[in-house]
Chain A
Amino acid sequence: MFDAIDQPRAQDGRAPDVFRPGAWVQMRCYDDSEQVDFAIVGTGAGGGTLAAKLAEAGFSVVAFDAGPFWRPLEDFASDEAAQGDLYWTDERISGGADPIQLGSNNSGRGVGGSTVHYTMIALRWRPDWFKSRSKLGYGRDWPLSFEELEPYYEEAEESLKISGPVRYPWGKRRKRYPYREHPVNASGLVLARGCERIGIDWSPLPLATLSAPRGMAHPCVYRGFCKYGCSTNAKQSVLVTFVPRAIAAGAEIRDLAMVGRIEMGKDGRATGVSYNRRGKWRQQKARHVVVAGYAIETPRLLLNSACPEFPDGLANDNGLVGTHLMTHSGPGVWGVLDEEIRSYKAPPCMAGTEHWNYSDEGKDFHGGYAFMSQGPLPTDWAQTLAARGLWGAALRQEMTRYNHTAGLVLVGETEPQAHNRVELADEKDQYGLRIPRVTFSYSENDRRLIEHGRKSMHQVLAAGGAHQLWDTHDTSHLMGGCRMGDDPKDSVVDADGRTWAIPNLWVCDGSLFPNSGGVNPSLTIQALACRIGDRIAEMAKRGELDR
């Protein structure tokens, strides 16, 4: 796997064939001086998906990723430590009252982005969240409705062949998932039992991993290495779905290519990007630039691209770039069961409940949360225990209960707050680019939500038969930083991801979110990317793209 880190693989007219060991696929390559229609920064849930959509619509596309182009069948070792290269671990500064730990739990780096090591939970948003201010009285309204996004949720689910339950208990009536639900592992069944005993619904989770073969991709083998890269291609990451589609449709993927700056013309339009590949800075000309580096790197790039015309950073006239950063609170509850659980078998999260996303009764807070069963691998587990303050003999003793432990983890909504944000620090990284400083503090509402969630998880886990419960705290997904809106004064981009300030500069990733909802974000990011792709194609047809 090490050559992927040192040497670009996607070049000279070919890219790795992710489905066949050692094989290559043809890839169209563009010259730096050739002005392509779209330069996309980042190939994750947002960027990779959009690259496929735009290339399939006939645009010329170059998509950059700072990370490597993995070959899942060969590179991904069943070794937690060896797989650390999947994460974005460049230096970042994290502060605030509740500093977010950055790295493995929220940012990937590589073609396919964080979806290469995500846990594949593919949930739609509660429809009301798109209008949470007007309908539920908190947060912010999105500039689009659930109904507008619904066909794109469907498209994203179809593209990833989501394996989901025949009947999902929450949300609007939906079309059947393309593939069927997976068997639920024992820790999922603890959650199921607990929920049934306290009288709330639970469900097997819809997952972006195959429960049946698909083309050259194998079905899941339930070994549970998902967070460290799936070596069977069962996981429908962007790397094995949209990226091959993008390449087949004529897009170029440039791996190990860190974009440091968006180049601006005197007319206030973007002209392309500067990127570093193999230690050299180069420039790619493009008619449009799309930033899709996720909630930290996207604002960072916009801020780092400040120029005389845009001294505070691109698209930042109203000072909103980088603000309203959100995470999901992720407290965990663990307990010991008499029977053997082996929660590390199968994808980590197989069953969950969205009860408190859809039922607002008796809540002393705004917003919602879901929680799921979880299943850490040994090193992860040992670290969790060590973080509890256990060491030496006590740690060893507790680790012997690994096979009998089950845990639940929350995905808790947090409020968008202006002071939770990404800024530039004075320190620079290996490319000479200013590194991001991330500030985060929970609001009072966030804390009440966490408390409520923790209590619910205790209830369910105890009802499921666990004893000796104990707690952990973590955070997960990132969202916001370049929020979308209807009003140029209080948003960075419009409903199509187009920045208000620069007509040929777009954002297409998790930073678009005006609020964070109580479920994992990637399906919504991919639905947005599918929609943005269609919108761009429509605008081009009507001649509105190059306004």
Chain B
Amino acid sequence: MPKPVPEPSRRPLIAVGLGGIAAAGLIGAAAWKLWRRAEPADPGKAAERGLRAGAAILSLAVLLDSGIEHYRGEFKNPAMFVAPTLALATLGMTAVEDEAAPYVFSAALAVGAAGVGFHSYNIGKRAGGFDMLNLFYAAPLGAPAALSLAGLFGLAAEHPGIAAPARIAPVAALALLGTAAEAGLLHFRGAFQNPFMFAPVTLPPLAAAVTAASSVSPEAAQVARPLLLGTALLGIAGPIFHSYGIHRNMGGWHNWSQMILQGPPLPAPPAFLGIALAALGLLPALERRG
């Protein structure tokens, strides 16, 4: 076993870490206060609100992420306009009551799925196929699924009869796992060079497991809350850490127009926030089932 190699240069890891967590904590605490203050007494309403909020955040994340990434891909294929456009529409539908909402949400669900198919096809036809190189750098496999999820949450919010919390909880759990897997893949691509990069691959899977369990066990639902809150916090801390990551690229924020594309994606981590909020909304109903 060779001795650890001395680093030729360092950056202030602990200070940055604490700063990032403190900032996320402050924002998170303020948001949580507002969220709790308006908590509906009826669990059904709470679930609807959570799902709507989740759909809104997910569609906002998809709007920015696909907008930036497809811009980077120069919108070479006109189909690349579809995702950001639909994400925008979905976002709108979460904000207002409109008759078109179910159609838009269904379209988001379908287009997200088609996007996964599209991206898979693109990867498959590249040299190397589904090798690590393409999984790292070609069109991301999991990303379009977030649009489907936004649509699904939107639909679920509108149809509490079909989409009972106990049915949606496993879906949210699966979504958390998928998002953690994507973060894991991309953080692995970044060689976990900063230890904070381990956060999204440790906490959310745990939260996912307990969330899935809460669809059958009210006790689990109680344990799920702090874990989901932690996951939501990650969704807020992520962009803060990612903006530090951008700063660590050549030119940093002075060179923002390039480094927003090359550095870690700012809009990706809020997917955790969106899914966690949806799941948090389901908890009151799940807790009461016992």
The interface of chain A, by Cβ under 8 A from chain B, is 19, 56, 151-152, 154-155, 158-159, 161, 165-167, 178-181, 183-184, 189, 192-193, 196, 202, 204, 211-219, 221, 232, 234, 240-242, 244-245, 248-249
Contact = CB atoms under 8 A, between A and B. Distances in A.
A241 B8 contact: yes
B136 A181 contact: yes
B95 interface: no
Interface string B1-38: 01001111111000000000000000000000000000
Interface of B: 2, 5-11, 126-128, 131-133, 136-137, 188-191, 193-194, 245, 248-250, 258, 262
A316 to B, nearest CB: 35
A245 B8 contact: yes
Nearest to A213: B248
A157 B250 CA distance: 23
Given A180-B136, A184-B133, A192-B128, A215 B10 contact: yes
A420 B190 CA distance: 45
A41 B62 CA distance: 57
B133 A248 contact: no
Contact of A180 (B5, B8, B190): B190
19 contacts: A19-B9, A151-B2, A155-B2, A158-B5, A165-B133, A179-B193, A180-B189, A183-B137, A202-B127, A212-B189, A213-B249, A214-B193, A216-B9, A219-B248, A221-B250, A232-B250, A234-B250, A240-B9, A244-B9
Given A212-B193, A217-B9, A192 B127 contact: yes
B262 A221 contact: yes
A16 B262 CA distance: 29
A166 B248 CA distance: 24
A248 B191 contact: no
Contacts of A215: 7-11
A179 B132 CA distance: 13
Contacts of B8: 215, 217, 240-242, 244-245, 248
B2 A211 contact: no
Contacts of A155: 2, 5
B150 to A, nearest CB: 28
A183 B9 contact: no
Contacts of B249: 213, 218-219, 221
A83 B126 CA distance: 36
A178 B191 contact: yes
Contacts of B189: 180, 211-212
A189 B9 CA distance: 34
B74 to A, nearest CB: 12
B193 A248 contact: no
Contacts of B10: 215-216
Given A158-B2, A213-B194, A240-B8, 4 more contacts: A183-B137, A215-B10, A245-B6, A245-B8
A248 B6 contact: yes
Contact of B191 (A179, A202, A242): A179
A179 B258 CA distance: 22
Contacts of A179: 191, 193
Contacts of B190: 180, 211-212
Nearest to B2: A155
Nearest to B194: A213
A155 B5 CA distance: 7
A204 B133 contact: yes
Contacts of B2: 151-152, 154-155, 158
Which has the most chain A C-beta neighbours within 10 Å: B8, B131, B248? B8
B188 A180 contact: yes
Contacts of B6: 56, 245, 248-249
Nearest to B247: A213
A216 B11 contact: yes
Nearest to B187: A212
A423 B8 CA distance: 38
Given A154-B2, A212-B190, A193 B7 contact: no
Contacts of B5: 155, 158-159
A246 to B, nearest CB: 10
A242 B190 CA distance: 23
Contacts of A165: 132-133
Nearest to B132: A166
Nearest to B244: A213
A491 to B, nearest CB: 27
Given A158-B2, A166-B132, A216-B11, A180 B191 contact: yes
A409 B7 CA distance: 34
Top 3 A-B residue pairs of the complex, sorted by shortest distance between their CB atoms: A192-B127, A215-B9, A216-B9
B250 to A, nearest CB: 4
Contact of A212 (B7, B127, B191, B250): B191
Contacts of B11: 215-216
B94 to A, nearest CB: 35
A139 B262 CA distance: 46
Given A158-B2, A181-B132, A196 B127 contact: yes
A414 to B, nearest CB: 31
Contacts of B126: 189
A366 to B, nearest CB: 31
B182 to A, nearest CB: 15
Nearest to A232: B250
A24 B188 CA distance: 34
Contacts of A56: 6
A183 B250 contact: no
A184 to B, nearest CB: 6
Nearest to A190: B127
Contacts of A196: 127-128
B9 A167 contact: no
A159 B4 CA distance: 9
Q: Quick one: which of B5, B11, B137, B190 has the most chain A CB within 10 A?
A: B5
Contact of A167 (B132, B194, B245): B132
Contacts of B127: 189, 192-193, 196, 202
A179 B133 CA distance: 13
Contacts of A151: 2
Nearest to A195: B127
B191 A211 contact: yes
